[in-house]
Amino acid sequence: MQLIKSSADVYLEEADELLSKGDVLQASEKYYKAAEEAIKILASLESGPSSDWNAEKINRTAFELSSKFEKWIIESWGSAVALVTVNLDIGQVKKYREKIVKLVQLADERLNKKIVERG
């Protein structure tokens, strides 16, 4: 069975491509979107889909997921927020990228597990 490529994966790939071209600002925005999509995926797997997302709800959801899963989730989300609120150099972006990748991987693993369970 082929694994599903999530929206978070797409943003992550776009961010990596932008970063490889030296476009730190655009890459940072895409990394943020990858983390945001990962949070939404995890939340939808826990409590069903939602369409009324805003900054407050995403922040609250990240905290809830962190208490349900592991504390590093909130650190990953914090990294994503830093990427779009602070002008970071390429080295810092690469460091924060690793935390975003971990979050996206968790969302992908849980999403694909759910798909396999459904058959």
Q: Which residues contact 42 (CB under 8 A, 6 or more apart)?
A: 61, 65, 69, 106, 107, 110
pLDDT of residue 2: 53
Nearest alpha-carbon partner for 8 in 29, 33, 27, 44: 33
Burial-class residue 84 by CB neighbours within 10 Å (0-12, 13-18, 19+). Answer: middle
- Provide the number of structural domains found in the chain: 1
pLDDT of residue 4: 75
- Give the model confidence (pLDDT) of 60-104 as tens digits: 999 999 988 888 999 999 999 999 999 899 999 999 999 999 999
Percent pLDDT > 90 in the chain is 76
Residue 57 backbone zone (phi > 0: left; psi -120 to 50: alpha; other: beta): alpha
To the question of pTM greater than 0.85 for the whole model, the response is: yes
In a domain, 119, yes or no: no
In a domain, 18, yes or no: yes
- Give the model confidence (pLDDT) of 10-24 as tens digits: 999 999 999 999 999
In a domain, 1, yes or no: no
CATH number of residue 19's parent domain: 1.20.120.330
Domain of residue 92, residue span: 7-114
Residues 108 and 3 sit within 8 Å (Cβ to Cβ): yes
In a domain, 2, yes or no: no
In a domain, 107, yes or no: yes
